[in-house]
Amino acid sequence: MFVVMQSLAKEFHSQAVLDMLKNIPDLTWIPGIPEKFRGLSEEHVRRSFIPKMGSFINEKTHLIGAAPASFSWVEEKPECILVRDQDSCGSCWAFSSVGPFSDNRCISGKDAKRVTYSEQYMISCDKESNGCSGTYHLSQPQKFLKKTGVPTDKCVSYKSINGKCPTTCDDKTPLVLYKSTNFEDVCVNEESIKVALTQGSVQTSFTVYTDFMYYTTGIYQHKFGAQEGSHSGVFVGYGEENGVKYWIIRNSWGPSWGEAGYFRIVRGINDCDIENACYLASV
């Protein structure tokens, strides 16, 4: 019965939509059907993102300073930057919170080399968020990092489930929690985000439209489709190609998706609300 039901489930991707996207003139990105999602049902694909996040009025920090014309932590500190895979749990909110915490402890020298901290602990223990069903606003996991903290992934490894909040490491040794010291919403304008990026990687969120799920490479800009939900990722850099300015965003769908786990999106026009709210955590 399970096999029959799976075969009847409607696939998310369609050749008709793909053909239409390929015929949009002057498209700055190449549409296709990512292997990660090929043949999967609408329900399965939508597990990779979360319902649309709430809208909050945040106190913002306008960062002012010098920022280069282009910048990328992937090039500057490749040993500190890592693409992870959230699998079938809607845990992008945890990966985009804990990921920069891991990056920035390495970038700042707080850790001698990159240590991967535990997204699973946050998913299981942050009761103000909703585990694999997402969070309502990205400030909440930032508050958790500051108040409670997380252990290393070696202590509590990723299991792609909600799970019970652990009181010991997986091997029953004592938990040691690491905290951030502060966090700031630096999404005031393009320049503020650029300055923030010279200090570390920055958590953000964006609206997922149908066409984003056809992204393979290039500089994404929303052109077609309805809102499918929300997703969160990490600003790791910015640049310009053929006169088109872009942000570099790390995703949490593994290194085989997009541009080795990253995507570029047009910069400076708040495409898909990606410049609405973004957090730089102090480590």
Per-residue model confidence as pLDDT tens digits over 21-48:
999 999 999 999 999 999 999 988 988 8
Render pLDDT for 80-131 as a digit per residue (tens, 0 to 9).
999 999 998 999 999 999 999 999 999 999 999 999 999 999 999 999 988 9
- Its pTM stands at 0.94
Place of tokens 């500051």: 146
Strands (E), 172-214: 182-185, 202-209
Does the residue 13 lie in any domain?
A: no
Indicate if the pLDDT at residue 4 is higher than 70: no
Which of 29, 62, 77, 99 minimizes the C-alpha distance to 194?
62
Does the residue 262 lie in any domain?
A: yes
* CB-based contact 27:210 (threshold 8 Å): no
Catalytic residue chosen out of the listed positions 137, 222, 251, 276: 251
Please report which helix (H) or strand (E) contains residue 237, including its range: strand 227-241
Q: Residue 156: exposed, middle, or buried by beta-carbon count in 10 A (0-12, 13-18, 19+)?
A: buried
* CB-based contact 96:227 (threshold 8 Å): no
Cα gap 253→246, rounded to integer Å: 20
Render pLDDT for 224-256 as a digit per residue (tens, 0 to 9).
999 999 999 999 999 999 999 999 999 999 999
pLDDT value, residue 7: 45
Look at the chain and count its residues: 283
Strands (E), the chain: 29-31, 71-72, 182-185, 202-209, 215-220, 227-241, 244-250, 262-266, 278-282
Is the model more confident about 8 or about 220?
220
Catalytic residue chosen out of the listed positions 13, 80, 89, 92: 92
The domain that holds 191 is classified in CATH as 3.90.70.10
Quote the number of domains for the chain.
1
The SS3 call for residue 247 is strand
pLDDT bucket at 6, cuts 50 / 70 / 90:
very low
Q: What is the mean pLDDT of the chain?
A: 93
Does the residue 109 lie in any domain?
A: yes
Cα gap 192→199, rounded to integer Å: 11
Does the residue 7 lie in any domain?
A: no
Helix axes 139-147, 92-107, angle to 10 degrees: 50
Does the residue 166 lie in any domain?
A: yes
Token pair for residue 217?
A: 């490479």
Q: Among the listed ranges 7-11, 121-125, 171-175, 219-223, which one has the minimum average pLDDT value?
A: 7-11
Place of tokens 């909600």: 162
Which of 282, 64, 54 minimizes the C-alpha distance to 193?
64
Cα gap 249→206, rounded to integer Å: 11
The answer to whether 92 is a known catalytic residue is yes
Catalytic residue chosen out of the listed positions 125, 169, 231, 272: 231
Does the residue 246 lie in any domain?
A: yes
pLDDT value, residue 3: 39
Does the residue 239 lie in any domain?
A: yes
Place of tokens 């010098």: 66
Sequence-separated (6 or more) residues with CB below 8 Å from residue 174: 168
pLDDT bucket at 185, cuts 50 / 70 / 90:
very high
pLDDT value, residue 5: 39
pLDDT value, residue 56: 58
Phi and psi at 110, nearest 5°, equal: -60, -40
Q: How large is the average pLDDT for residues 38-62?
A: 81
The answer to whether 251 is a known catalytic residue is yes
Indicate if the pLDDT at residue 140 is higher than 80: yes
Does the residue 16 lie in any domain?
A: no
Question: Domain range for residue 152?
Answer: 30-39+60-282
Q: How large is the average pLDDT for residues 42-61?
A: 78
pLDDT bucket at 53, cuts 50 / 70 / 90:
low
